[in-house]
């Protein structure tokens, strides 16, 4: 179980394309393995909480525990994957190299690279590309990399309802269900319940108070 005790605060997250500031809303939050939908409009605090749990930023005004033990940023980063993005400092590394590096590090995995690519339906013509150059396939490629590294928590950036209808329900939804079946914790930050509400095990609503 992942638990967060948060004060209302702002976090700064450095990603490809720049540094982004997001709100984390005060509250006590609990996440069990399965799909946890954080439903709310952009800026309501749902994506800030998801990004915090990805281990990509500091969080001085929040306490995070994993299975009853308090963890800090570095420990969160060890167990978490930010969906749609390469691991920190790996933006220029091709997908295949990232995945193979993860499989070597994750000594409990019996998967081969071909097993992994098949599990996430990745196309061989894109194996040599960076994640950011894999088109829509980068979403499930990032899941594959996290899976290779043995990550147990998968966090999404904010997903709009329009984006879900046009892309994410095809590019992400079946693979989030796959992660759930394997006992992972998914933190899905999205605009409303139309974005994965039908597969969510837990839904938390966030109101945008301006």
Residue among 9, 162, 151, 156 at smallest CA distance from 80: 151
Question: Residue 59: is its pLDDT beyond 90?
Answer: no
2-205 topology per CATH: Rossmann fold (3.40.50)
Q: Which pLDDT belongs to residue 202?
A: 96
Question: Residue 142: is its pLDDT beyond 90?
Answer: yes
Flag the least confident range among 13-27, 94-108, 146-160.
13-27
Domain ranges in the chain are 2-205
Position 210 confidence tier, pLDDT thresholds 50, 70, 90 = low
Q: Is residue 103 within 8 Å of 116, Cβ to Cβ?
A: yes
Residue among 65, 51, 55 at smallest CA distance from 5: 65
pLDDT averaged over the chain? 92
């Amino acid at each position: 179980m992942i638990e967060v005790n948060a004060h209302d605060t702002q976090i700064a997250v450095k990603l490809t394309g720049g540094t982004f500031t997001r709100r984390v809303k005060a509250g006590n939050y609990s996440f069990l393995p399965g799909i946890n939908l954080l439903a709310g409009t952009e800026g309501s605090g749902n994506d800030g909480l998801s990004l915090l749990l990805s281990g990509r930023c500091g969080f001085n005004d929040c306490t995070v525990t994993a299975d009853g033990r308090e963890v800090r940023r570095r420990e969160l980063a060890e167990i978490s994957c930010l969906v749609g993005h390469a691991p920190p400092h790996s933006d220029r590394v091709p997908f295949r190299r990232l995945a193979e590096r993860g499989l070597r590090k994750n000594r409990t995995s019996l998967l081969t690279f071909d097993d992994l690519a098949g599990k996430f339906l990745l196309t061989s013509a894109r194996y040599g590309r960076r994640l950011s150059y894999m088109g829509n396939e980068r979403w499930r490629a990032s899941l594959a990399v996290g899976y290779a590294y043995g990550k147990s928590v998968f966090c999404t950036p904010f997903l709009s309802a329009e984006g879900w209808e046009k892309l994410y329900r095809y590019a992400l939804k079946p693979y989030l269900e796959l992660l759930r079946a394997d006992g992972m914790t998914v933190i899905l930050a999205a605009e409303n319940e139309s974005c994965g509400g039908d597969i969510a095990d837990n839904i938390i609503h966030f109101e945008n108070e301006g």
